[in-house]
Every structure is written in C-alpha cells, then in structure tokens.
Amino acid sequence: MNTDSIRKLLKGVSAGTTSVPEALDVLKHLPYEDLGFAKIDTHRDLRTGFPEVVYCEGKTIEQITGLVRSLPSGGFLMGTRADAGVYDAVKAVRSDTVYHESARIILVGEGREKRSEKAILVVSAGTSDQPVAEEAAVTAEAMGNAVERLYDVGVAGIHRLLDHSDKLTLANVLVVVAGMEGALASIVGGLVDRPVIAVPTSVGYGASFHGLSALLTMLNSCAPGVAVVNIDNGFGAGYMASVINRTCEAP
C-alpha cells in the first residue's frame, strides 16, 4: 500500500464505487501481513515513501517466492543479494521481474517514477568495487532518481578522477565506493560542496581485513561532509542518497 493507492481507495468509497466492507478488506493488511515465516511491513511505503526491501541471502527460494505471491496485482518488490537461481524462481511467478546481475538485485514490477532530475553520482575506485557500486546505483534508480556512474577512478591514478570534475560538481549527492585503503571518499569530499556517502568494500589484500581498513579510513576522513555506511552496503548508500536527493535541492 502506498499513498496513491490509499487515496484511490478513499475516493472510491467517497464516490460510492467501493463499499465500506471492500475498503476494510483492503485495509485489513495494514500495518503488516503475517505469512508465518515473515511479517511483511505493508505500511512502510506509507511511512517512508518506499516499500520494504527483501534481503534474499539466508532465505529459501520458497520463502522468497512466497513473498512475491503475497504482492497485490502489479505490486512492486525489490530484492537484494539475489543470485540467478532466485531470479529464475521469481520470474516464474512474476513475468515482469528484472535481474541486475552485477548489482545482485531483482526488481518485480515497476519502481518509482522519476521524482527529480537532480543527479546522484555513483563513483567507484576500482573495477572490483563495481558490484557494490551497482547495488547503490540500481537502488537509487528504483527509488526514482536520475543516476550517473563514474567507475574505476581510484587514487592510484587520480588524474582519471580529475578529468571528470564537471560530473563531480554537478551532482546533487555522491556515493563513493572504495576498497583497499578507502582514500577516494576523502578526496571526493574535499572537491565538492554536496553530501558524500562513503561505502567501504571488502576488496583488498590481507591487511585490508575484509573492508575494515577502508571503513576506518572513511570514518577518519578529514574532509567534511562525508558520511559512511557499512562495509559492502551499496543498498544502504543508494537508499540514503535517494532520501537526501528528494529533500535537498541544489541551488
């Protein structure tokens, strides 16, 4: 349920085209629907502007397809950390399922219409960071944002980043994804006057400690305006970027 569907339902009751019992039948699943193995937060879209997102890792195929079957006709669902097996099973239930393989995201139905032309720029340090960067980018796009990508511009060849200074300065929000030592977020933060969401990745050799080194570097950034999400949390970064983008207008 979202604001538009509630408004349509109430207009139907007001106009007499929908009976009160019919409306109550629709509303009885608010604020959540209990499927036994999961309690779907059907009220979340009304509260936050975006429906509950399914984290697919750790769930069985039967549980995930059960969540999909519970959707109303034409309903939207986003699933993160989904593999090809999950996609194939969900596609058999809903033919309008799309798989973003690099991002490991499935989208069932239509995402949000574009809410703003303000751009979110997703920047990645290396090609190995791209899956996390794509998770952020696809999440932000599904939430109705214009998203641009700038990949493989890490500090080992900083001229690659500086060649795109126009993209950096025109973006309304930036998501910076980096593994190894994670220095890219501080550099970008020192170049722009927009919010920078830093995403440490688990990419790197032994002393990177599966992303802990990049996380600590980003947390200790001397560049103001840099906020940090959890290791490999592209979804969280894309979501936060979307929230900022719809509430903060660039001058």
pLDDT digits (tens, 9 = 90+) for 132-166: 999 999 999 999 999 999 999 999 999 999 999 99
Specify whether 85 is located in the same domain as 44: no
Let me know: does 66 contact 86? Beta carbons within 8 Å: no
pTM: 0.83
Specify whether 130 is located in the same domain as 190: yes
Specify whether 208 is located in the same domain as 147: yes
Specify whether 140 is located in the same domain as 198: yes
Residue 223 pLDDT level (bands cut at 50, 70, 90): very high
Specify whether 31 is located in the same domain as 79: no
Question: Of 93, 111, 129, at which residue does a domain stop?
Answer: 111
Domain limits at 222? 119-247
Rounded distance between C-alpha atoms, residue 15 and residue 151, angstroms: 52
Specify whether 158 is located in the same domain as 237: yes
pLDDT digits (tens, 9 = 90+) for 61-103: 999 998 888 877 678 889 999 999 999 999 999 988 999 999 9
Specify whether 97 is located in the same domain as 31: no
1 has a pLDDT exceeding 60: no
Q: What's the token pair of residue 229? A: 């999400």
Specify whether 77 is located in the same domain as 40: no
249 has a pLDDT exceeding 70: no
Specify whether 130 is located in the same domain as 208: yes
Of residues 185, 85, 57, 169, the one with CA closest to residue 133 = 185
Q: How many domains would you assign to the chain?
A: 3
237 has a pLDDT exceeding 60: yes
